[in-house]
Structure 1
Amino acid sequence: MTAPGIFGTLSAHFRSARDIRLRALIMAERKRVSGRFKILDVGGRADYWHRVGMDFLESQDADVLIVNHEARELAGTADSRGRLRAEVGDARGLAYADHSFDLVHSNSVIEHVGSFADKCAFASEVRRLAPAYYVQTPYYWFPIDPHWPKMPLFHWMPLSWRWRLLCRFKLGFAGPHREVGHAMADLEATVLLDWAQMRSLFPDARLRPERLFGLPKSIIAERTSSRALDREEGAL
């Protein structure tokens, strides 16, 4: 098996463990809510929730509104049970009232929203829209960026090296890139975060790492409705 293939297999393992954790969080938060449990998924897709489990959402009487800035990412969202809905929107500024939802969820999105100021706007919306949230993102100091799995250490290289490599090789899901502008656009659209930056963005959350071979691979920021957060796992 190739290195990217091994990484993909391990990523699938982490996704499965993440799903278990997310289901536990939803069940815990569900206990305080009467009526339907409302989840906002910022930047998500329907296939993610099919993996989490439509039967599970049904058992929790949970509805999911998926908001994505690209309409093509929302194709196939409708489901026969009416548990999934979709809207096009900008996560840096959403037209929903404070605490319109019971849980805000985001998986591997915040690294794509732009500058740090854009990330601050994104985080502010996440924190504003529900009493509880769950935000996952790849960790900058893990040696493999999941967006470019074929070249370890790629995201630590100088920018001038990276766009040249993208123009010559297929390092991620697309490529090689045909021209510099396209390569630069892809690089600028993915900026990973470290622990201190996530702490700044989500000061009221518990942060915890997902580890691979003892190294932090990604960061999850969680806030519960009770705000009785568990001890932070912050020894990186």
Structure 2
Amino acid sequence: MSRDPELPASAYAEVPPPADVRDRVRRVWRYQSGAAPAAPLILPDGCVDLIWDGARLFIAGPDQQATPAQLAPGATLTGLRLAPGVAHRLLGTPMQALADQRIAADAVIGPRAGVLERRLLDGADPARTLLAAVAERGVQPDPRMAWLFAQLSGPDAPPLPELARQLGLSERSLHRHCLQAFGYGPKVLDRILRLQRWLRLASGAITLTRAAFDAGYADASHLSHDVRRLTGLTPTALLRDHGH
């Protein structure tokens, strides 16, 4: 494996993974909480994370809504955000079984989780150890679901029926594949990725409404409805606290 990424020391930091696992890992990240208990709001992003918290290895399944993470003072989390379309293959389970859950890794991947936890408890570097475990598996993402995620993440995302047609799938079959790969159907995935697209655009836009149009929302009320539905916040509050 290539040289491990260097993670800066800060409250939250993320870096790209080494080149040889970028088809399976989207980001390597670390979160360090402060002296007081913390409950950072985790926004849905269509992804699944493998996380070490210093005592246990767990999986953060795909969220359908923003979820506060309850962290003890001084907690340090190291995680891998898995690439789109790979989690169900890497973990050997359909993602709808893990949706909106934080679950011990051994309940999903069995004895392999125990081996990893022992190495981590013995002082192995968390990011290096988790990356090596992913590299050893040798699984590849589902190319159709990776392509779908990329299409829905980009500007001018085509309508879902058109994407299904391009994939050679019926809309019912597309829904089934999305449940397995992402934990929810394509309409929910589209809504989540549109929100993420708006967050990327909003910080540099002239107005939030202009960013909403560019992200694919019909109007400002459509944006407000989806933001409240997914996060419980107003667009202004979401951008203030979670803008890119």
Normalised by the length of structure 2, the TM-score is 0.29
Question: Which structure has the highest helix share of the two?
Answer: 2
Normalised by the length of structure 1, the TM-score is 0.30
Higher relative contact order (CA 8 A, sep 6+): 2
Question: Which structure has the highest strand share of the two?
Answer: 1
